[in-house]
Structure 1
Amino acid sequence: MRTAAKLGSYALGLAVVFGGALGVGRMITPTAAGTTTAADTRTGDDQAAGHAGDDHATGHTGAEHATQQPVTSDTPGGLQVSQNGYTLNPITSITTGVPTDFRFTVIGPEGRAVTDYQVEHDKKLHFIVASRDLTSFQHVHPDLAADGTWSVRLTLPKAGAYKAFADFVPKGGEKLTLGADLQAAGDYRPEPLPHVSRTAAVDDYTVNLAGDLVPGRAGKLTLTINKDGEPVTDLQPYLGAYGHLVALRAGDLAYLHVHPEKSDKAGPEITFYAEAPSRGDYRLFLDFQHEGKVRTAAFTATATLSDGHAPSATHDHTH
């Protein structure tokens, strides 16, 4: 009996120790403000409905924002609606094919709309909207009101799912790219990803791509612009450079970090360094300005380990 009693007491003690450890573990488990929760995965229309009654003049969208603590994240840009205490907050819903005065705010760690931004590439904020099938792409620059509300004229050309990206640097903070889902109602018919290509055509221009995306490190990409078969050597500055490149990963639309190489030459070559987080297919969108008009050339590229072989050069869609 004494032995049984001792064993019972020992088992009870273990239960208390492990139970207490589990409780402590739950108490000290950190919650990342940048982690996407179930509430964060709502579509743009759902988010707009959920925030319709918020006080946008003050920027308050809930007590949870006031308690968020900034954290760092290695997650590729654009995959999270919230990161480091900042949240992309769409306000307006969109009707398919109809121009809409789209409005949104960026809510800061203290629960208020951010009103102070650093200028980067000539703008305080870059707003990118791409369809989930990556066949539609828009790079626009909204206007900022005194209360922190951004607004821009926006048209979603076809029904389906879209991703909106806000690329910005809050005053005194680090560069962020936040992403939110938008929905355009109607008969959704996704298109296949365009074939991998080294050449893209837009209007009378042909753009050739040299270089490769390499997983895990920056890959050098050089784009050469020709018009009617002749090199373009008088490109006009756009966003502080002679070209602006956006790269999105197919499937989840991760937003790649792309760095332009400084150059005083106005073409025909523009060089960038793009950091691919993984293997797979990516869609590249080059904005360049010539003769007073901004044009976009689009490519599909595959990130693989460097082996010296280039992807097959099949002609891409015209944009």
Structure 2
Amino acid sequence: MSRAAALRLGAFAGALALAFGAAFAIGSAVDPVAAADPAPAQAHGNEEMGGMAEEAGHDAGGQLPGLAVSDAGYTLSPATMSFRSGAKTQLRFTIQGPDGKPVTTYTKTHEKDLHLIVVRRDLSGFHHVHPTMDATGAWSIPFTFTTGGTWRLYADFQPAGLDKKLTLGTDVSVSGSFTPVPLPKPAGTASFTGYDVTLEGNPVAGHESELTFRVSRGGKPITDLQPYLGAFGHLVSLRSGDLAYLHNHPAQHAEPGMKGGPSISFGTTFPTAGTYRLYLDFQHAGAVHTAEFTLRVGS
């Protein structure tokens, strides 16, 4: 090989090496696996504040519940990912365990083996329901998606033998008419069907804060709230944007026959500053009611 040819070959090899190096750097910068790995959030365990115990909003690893379809080897697997609005259907799913088989045994949390939350991505159309499980581990419940759009499913449960609760989430598509619903502005009172519920509290991100809801009807405080899922209230909070899930209950346990109200308090830790949508379920006069609030959490 002539000296000139050798020089040309060396220059080509150097250019090729630089091209591969640049491609590797670009590929690393946009690696979908790396990009999908969220920065660890500050973890908060179960704490107490003024006698109110918090059910932790995220686990010790820092992963906020409801953002992933799989966690700790368990996966939420809907039977179908698409539905038609206005049509009554059977909402079916399984929880696949680490062995790849449907989970069939659970530890009850708040009187149920599994809680299912269904909400549209714009945080409208909230439902808290309790499906039934057959002998194969398949869960199902009759359900009607009222409008088109993207809806989020959350399964809240604790498998038998696991020392923590899990909340898995996934999106499903619903065909039909879709009109986005703007998130309501923050307000201290929610009024519906004769009930008025006021919210008191000034939460700060990263710190446990006490939220107190006061329930009245026709201007009179309600003092005969009925137990619902072992308590006088049940609170779900969803972070606007990614719909991270916070699930809290009051410390006071409610037995059948007990009466509560007008106040229901929760010890809650919001992981970040921002806007959250709060859904308070309570039972009165034999019916479950839901009060909804938009809350801005400061830093």
Higher RCO (CA-CA < 8 Å; seq separation 6+): 2
**Cα drift, residue 97 of structure 1:** 1.4
In the alignment, which residue of structure 1 is the partner of 2:289? 295
Pair 1:223 & 2:213 matched: yes
Q: How does 1:74-113 map to 2 (within 5 A)?
A: 74-92=62-80, 93-113=82-102
Please state whether the residue corresponding to 2:249 is helix, strand or coil: strand
Matched-pair contact (CA < 8 Å) for 1:257–1:275: no
In the alignment, which residue of structure 2 is the partner of 1:115? 104
Structure 1 residue ranges without an equivalent (≥5): 1-30, 37-70, 306-319
Q: How does 1:217-256 map to 2 (within 5 A)?
A: 217-256=207-246
Q: How does 1:2-13 map to 2 (within 5 A)?
A: none
In the alignment, which residue of structure 2 is the partner of 1:178? 168
TM-score by length of 2: 0.77
Pair 1:159 & 2:153 matched: no
**Cα drift, residue 160 of structure 1:** 0.6
**Cα drift, residue 35 of structure 1:** 6.7
Task: Answer 1 or 2: which has greater strand percent.
Answer: 2
**Percent same amino acid among aligned pairs?**
48
Read off the aligned partner of 2:210 and give its amino acid letter: K
Number of residue pairs aligned between Structure 1 and Structure 2: 244
Give the superposed CA RMSD: 2.4
TM-score by length of 1: 0.72
Deviations, residues 246-290 of structure 1 (Å, cap 9, x unaligned): 000011110014231216661000011222111110000011110
Read off the aligned partner of 2:194 and give its amino acid letter: D
CA distance in structure 1 between the aligned counterparts of 2:288 and 2:249, rounded to whole angstroms: 19
Matched-pair contact (CA < 8 Å) for 2:73–2:97: yes
CA distance in structure 2 between the aligned counterparts of 1:141 and 1:274, rounded to whole angstroms: 24
In the alignment, which residue of structure 1 is the partner of 2:28? none
Q: How does 1:299-318 map to 2 (within 5 A)?
A: 299-305=293-299
CA 1:257 to 1:139, structure 2 compared with 1: closer, same or farther past 3 Å? closer
**Cα drift, residue 217 of structure 1:** 2.4
Moved over 6 A (4+): none
CA distance in structure 2 between the aligned counterparts of 1:212 and 1:114, rounded to whole angstroms: 40
Please state whether the residue corresponding to 1:294 is helix, strand or coil: strand
In the alignment, which residue of structure 2 is the partner of 1:270? 264
**Cα drift, residue 188 of structure 1:** 2.5
Deviations, residues 103-124 of structure 1 (Å, cap 9, x unaligned): 0000011111000001111100
**Cα drift, residue 72 of structure 1:** 6.8
Matched-pair contact (CA < 8 Å) for 2:231–2:249: no
CA distance in structure 1 between the aligned counterparts of 2:69 and 2:37, rounded to whole angstroms: 9
Pair 1:195 & 2:203 matched: no
In the alignment, which residue of structure 2 is the partner of 1:284? 278
Please state whether the residue corresponding to 1:207 is helix, strand or coil: strand
Matched-pair contact (CA < 8 Å) for 2:234–2:249: no
Q: How does 1:65-80 map to 2 (within 5 A)?
A: 73-80=61-68
Structure 2 residue ranges without an equivalent (≥5): 1-32, 39-58
Read off the aligned partner of 1:159 and give its amino acid letter: G
Deviations, residues 173-224 of structure 1 (Å, cap 9, x unaligned): 1200000101111243211110101100121100000113321122211000
Read off the aligned partner of 1:80 and give its amino acid letter: A
